[in-house]
Amino acid sequence: MRLSVVSWNVNSVRLRIEQVARFLQQADADVVCLQEIKCQSPEFPHQAFIDMGYPHILVTGQKGWHGVALVSKHPFDTLETPTHCRRSEARCQAVSVKGVEIWNFYIPAGGDVPDRALNDKFDHKLEFYERVTRTLNERPKDQPLLIAGDLNIAPGEFDVWSHRQMLRVVSHTPPELEAFDNFVTAGELYDPFRDAYPNPEKIFSWWSYRSADFRKSNRGLRLDHILLNPGLRNRLTAPASAIIHDTVREWERPSDHAPIQVTLNL
């Protein structure tokens, strides 16, 4: 039995619903985790996803900002989500589908100043990670768990266009790298993308809109992740089944994030 999961910060699901339909036609995903949907449930394009073959829908929305949604070809159970976000923003949801628990996160970006005392947004981001880390410490490691989303940290030296320069920029600063490492350690989480794209290959999932030609400048970051706990680590169909669909970033009026996908054998 196969389970293929996509994660995509779509940067407004209503604005990009045609791109979503085009991508899902070629990706053949079973479950799609969307972030930054920028709408509430009544405004979410439910019928469009039903028409695409995703009749099972969970929307955790917020007016104009943030928001996550999960759509699935298969029925799922909605799970209670711990309070990871102290501001109660629409940033997380959890479901169980085919025996796999899936967490869909849109972790705060953290503002511009990497100092918890001077920047409340940065403090909020690190506290979010600390709360998730505590939850993972308490959770049995053998229960299958997949964490997907825009986690807003590029954790590795080869997940950023310049490790040296980005150490001073929010998304790759030492406090964030430490928080990400603690989070991964607590859940014993496995990153399938680094098997599919081994170091020192640089891989990115986000490129700024500021570059007219993002391929030419290639100043990207890998902010989007799908991570597997020990209960799922050996279920990958193959290392190559972890894919960054960066060609979607080339489409007209794209999100600044590319969708990523992992396929499992259950």
**208-217, long-range: CB < 8 A, 24+ apart:** 208/256, 209/256, 214/249, 215/250
Domain 2-265, second-level architecture = 4-Layer Sandwich (3.60)
pLDDT tops 70 at residue 172? yes
Q: Provide the pLDDT confidence category of residue 239 given band limits of 50, 70 and 90.
A: low
**Strand extents, DSSP E, 55-137:** 56-60, 68-72, 77-79, 92-97, 100-106
Tokens of 167: 């150490």
Q: Quick: pLDDT tens for 173-215.
A: 999 999 999 999 999 999 999 999 999 999 999 999 987 789 9
End-to-end CA distance of the chain: 5
With residue 244 as reference, give the H or E element that holds it. Answer: strand 242-244
Q: Give ∠ CA 96-62-21 in degrees, rounded to 5.
A: 65
Average pLDDT over residues 105-118: 98
Residues 6+ apart with CB under 8 A from 65: 38, 89
Question: 148 phi and psi, to 5 degrees?
Answer: -130, 150
- The full set of domain ranges for the chain reads 2-265
The mean pLDDT of 164-168, rounded to a whole number, is 97
